[in-house]
Amino acid sequence: MRAGLLGGGVAAAAVNGVALPGSSRAAVAARTTLTRTLQPGPPNALGYSKIVQGPGEVRLVRTDLGVAAQSGRDTRRVGLQAFVQFSDMHVVDHQSPARVEWLDRFETPGLLSSSYRPQEMLTAHVADAMVQAVNAQKKGPVTGLDFAFTIETGDNSDNCQYNETRWYIDIMDGGSVRPDSGKLTTYEGVMDNNKTYYDTDYWHPHPVPLKEKADKYKTEHGFPTVNNLLNACRRPFTAAGLDIPWYSVFGNHDGLVQGNFPHTLQLNTLAVSALKVISPPVGLSDTEVIDALTAGDVLGLVGDLSVSPTVRLVTRDKNRHNLTRKEIVEEHFVTTGLPAGHGFTQANVDDGTAYYYFDEGTIRHVVMDSVNPNGYADGSLDGEQFTWLKATIEAATGKAVIVYSHHTSSSMSNPLILTGGDPQLPRVLGGDVVDYLLTQQHVIAWVNGHTHVNKITAHPNAAGTGGFWEINTASHIDYPQQARIIEVVDNADGTWSIMTTVLDHGGPLDFNGRIGNTLVLASLSRELSVNDPQNNLAASTGSPLDRNTELLIDNPLA
């Protein structure tokens, strides 16, 4: 892999061809990981780490596409556009009967991984803290250009519920948000100290109740006691709201129940019901779970639901009902933010689709819907959308093109066709999309999420002197809980550069026992997420080549 350093970690930036003064560059970069990084500190005896501050991370130059980095470009370059990518926000109704936290303890490779996370009650607060970070940053650290927009590349909600979708939209817009459901005076989920349903496979943040054992998160992983957290996380708060336009991409958790299962009457009935499974039935085996999930029959694992030592009576909430793709698109028009619909169009509403494009300056931004409605977490495109994609890209005369989807090219591997679709028109997989994009010189990048990792992949063309970059960014629900700033610049030498800079949310380094606002709660979430025993920290953070980078490409308009 060809890469080099861009001196000092902060590029000499130019706007309209004029280099920004060094003091201005430093001020714009100060809130990003160019200046400081947040890392796990030394673990205690049980392996629990606090977050500590590390040094800033230099920007690495990547020439994997065979495009050379020419000297002097830092003083010549012209800033074209700066924007922000959010991904995999997973705003969770953590008390919903439709959640399957009880499956998390089973070995189910590739099926419902991380169906329980100790930090999941804080997703709304992380989202608000990320919005506040973008509002404070305002500009690209290389170009000094104002952010043109933010785009969230899918899994905005966790379980395609109405209330989750509304919380997401309202957080992005700004205003009052109450991330609570069911009985608004009492937490009703898997993490409280209800003695009948006290299950040690979950973290219980409140003090251990009398005559109960501490949970495994505390005894095996050193998780703390945070008294009153289950009340604090449900309080109403006033979301800051983005100061810039924002766009939305459809993800598998937005379109499928638990991100895996097509909508059914039974699953929707479960979501709005008064019965929540807390623990698995006694004697349930890994094999039974895998077989049931493979068959899409999660309800078959628990049989007829009734109150029992493993099934808890909770408060019904009609706002937990599942939304179809069309309904989610419609909700984006119930907004105070810009643009109306957040990329989705009236044609999307009429047709029940979720793909669109918008033009911003010299760049066409093309948003795909990579969710396979027939089921399973990985994605693909339907044939009609692929035809639209090609026509939309080829019509972008005189513009560069960036495409977006929730899934990465490698996770668009799902050919399943069960309902709604001509078997003679198979679904289009990621490899076919890559092959097509490589035929289009003006396509410079594919931006996506889904994997919850930072990863940048070069897709060179057959000649080895061009191609496009695939920019995959980590989630907000799992560590490192980061967004990515993307800036496009013309180096005025026959090449362009795509500058990527990782941005942490606005939560402080340490919550210090405070749980009074979204920023400190987001800080606690980051601390919990770095200690989540299911998170592969090395994979999720990525290598330095996947974070702060300069990605060289040929001028796509030459």
Delimit the domains of the chain by residue range.
Answer: 3-85+121-181+243-255+324-554
CB atoms near residue 201 (< 10 Å): 16
Give the mean pLDDT of 39-65: 97
Give the span between the Cα atoms of 134 and 141, in whole angstroms: 12
Per-residue exposure over 422-447, b if at least 16 CB sit within 10 Å of its own CB, e if not:
eeeeebbbbebbbeebbebbbbbbbb
Per-residue confidence (pLDDT) for residue 36, from 0 to 100: 96
539 residue type, one letter: A
503 pLDDT above the threshold of 80: yes
**Residue ranges in 97-159 assigned as alpha helix (H):** 123-137
* Local confidence band at 489 (pLDDT 50, 70, 90 cut-offs): very high
Fold of 3-85+121-181+243-255+324-554: Purple Acid Phosphatase; chain A, domain 2 (3.60.21)
> Which residue did the predictor score with more confidence, 297 or 259?
259
Strands (E), 154-258: 175-177, 237-239, 246-248
* Predicted structure pTM score: 0.94
Give the span between the Cα atoms of 178 and 170, in whole angstroms: 10
Give the mean pLDDT of 134-141: 97
Q: Are 345 and 380 in contact (CB under 8 A)?
A: no
pLDDT digits 0-9 by tens, 427-479: 999 999 999 999 999 999 999 999 999 999 999 999 888 999 999 999 999 99
The DSSP code for 378 is S
Strands (E), 254-353: 275-277, 311-313
> Which residue did the predictor score with more confidence, 31 or 299?
31
24 pLDDT above the threshold of 90: no
357 pLDDT above the threshold of 70: yes
Give the span between the Cα atoms of 328 and 336, in whole angstroms: 16
pLDDT digits 0-9 by tens, 508-556: 999 999 999 999 999 999 999 999 999 999 999 999 999 999 999 999 9
21 pLDDT above the threshold of 60: no
Residues linked to residue 404 through DSSP beta bridges, in sequence order: 367, 447
424 pLDDT above the threshold of 90: no
